[in-house]
Amino acid sequence: MTNTNNNLPRNWSMLSYGNELRVPYAEDPMGSTWPTYFLKRNEKGNFVDDNGNYLAFPMREPDTSIDFDGKQLTAVKDAQRKLNSNQINIAKYWGTGPATKQWTPIIDILIDTYKITAFRAARILAAVHAALNDAFAVTWYFKYLWKIPRPNQLDQSFISLLPMPKHPSYPAGHGVVAGCAEVVLSYFFPPEAYRLHELAEECAISRLYAGVHYPIDNEQGLILGRFIGEMVVEKLKKQKDDNSCYVDYPNSEYLGAKLPPPPYKQVISYAEGHYCPFAEDLYSSDKLAKEIES
């Protein structure tokens, strides 16, 4: 998984983060090789379909047509300069904990609202989280294949609202997870598809507000995640019981599940202290909100 394209911007593993003296320690660099549940690999470790053909993921390759050093980096810095209090809340909400954290309560609320039986609830939880596991595996494959630097590696003076994750930038994991969760949950709960789409879009753009991803990371992340979600759904649709009856019969009546956010408060509490220590004074929500209002 070595990047051989000389036209790509500087390598993530060879640049320190702003205000740090060493290059970043990679987070789970072998994650792309971990076990998957819906997706298959061949003996060479490549993702393949059920017939053994290479999967053509709809990912835009980060060649010179994506200007990370210029247009993309400028968009990140512009977004940080223009942050308002609502965008700060969005960034902090979706950026608290791992990318799966905010989606698990959404699944539970859907299960409760639609009065799903115990066994089916377990199936839905298992299907969604297994899909997200596979989505992460694909995301990590592309992240460490291309090793696109983070914004504060291309501009060492840049300070983001939230901490910069310790893995390459492209594509955005939150975007992939959001797109995948949207599609799989919309399969089980079709009446909630529009709301789930809204949440996925907000989750993805939250990473721009956080200052940790370029716009293209989030856009392509959603595309990739939705593609993986569709692959998972196609497999779920075919599953039958011993009476040759399809296992799933998605809900058709709209019951109006109240899916957060808002409010922009964690459904499952999370320990404080997950912000950049060197950015705390500059970008604390209270101080930044006051600066924006003044």
What span, in angstroms and rounded, lies between the C-alpha atoms of 165 and 24?
A: 9
Q: Give the whole-number percent of the chain exceeding pLDDT 70.
A: 89
Domains belonging to the chain, first-starting first, are: 77-293 (1.10.606.20)
What span, in angstroms and rounded, lies between the C-alpha atoms of 19 and 156?
A: 7
Q: Give the whole-number percent of the chain exceeding pLDDT 90.
A: 80
pTM for this entry: 0.89
Find the farthest-apart pair of alpha carbons in the chain and give their distance in angstroms, rounded: 67
| pLDDT band, very low/low/confident/very high, at 12 (cuts 50, 70, 90) | very high
| pLDDT band, very low/low/confident/very high, at 64 (cuts 50, 70, 90) | confident
**Rg of the chain in Å (alpha carbons):** 20
Q: What is the tens place of the pLDDT at every residue in 206-231? A: 999 999 999 999 999 999 999 999 99
Write the DSSP assignment of 128-195 as a string of letters: HHHHHHHHHHHHHHHHHHH-PPPHHHHSTT---SSPPPSS--SS-HHHHHHHHHHHHHHHH-GGGHHH
What span, in angstroms and rounded, lies between the C-alpha atoms of 271 and 273?
A: 7
Q: Is the pLDDT of residue 293 over 60?
A: no
What span, in angstroms and rounded, lies between the C-alpha atoms of 221 and 99?
A: 13
Q: At what angle do helices 193-209 and 73-81 cross, to 10 degrees?
A: 90
List the single range of 19-28, 122-131, 143-152 with lowest mean pLDDT: 19-28
Q: Looking at per-residue confidence, does 278 or 59 come out higher?
A: 59
What span, in angstroms and rounded, lies between the C-alpha atoms of 179 and 105?
A: 16
The reported pLDDT for the residue numbered 9 is 52
Closest CA to 226 of 251, 252, 200, 198: 200
Q: What is the tens place of the pLDDT at every residue in 20-51? A: 888 888 999 999 999 999 999 999 999 999 99
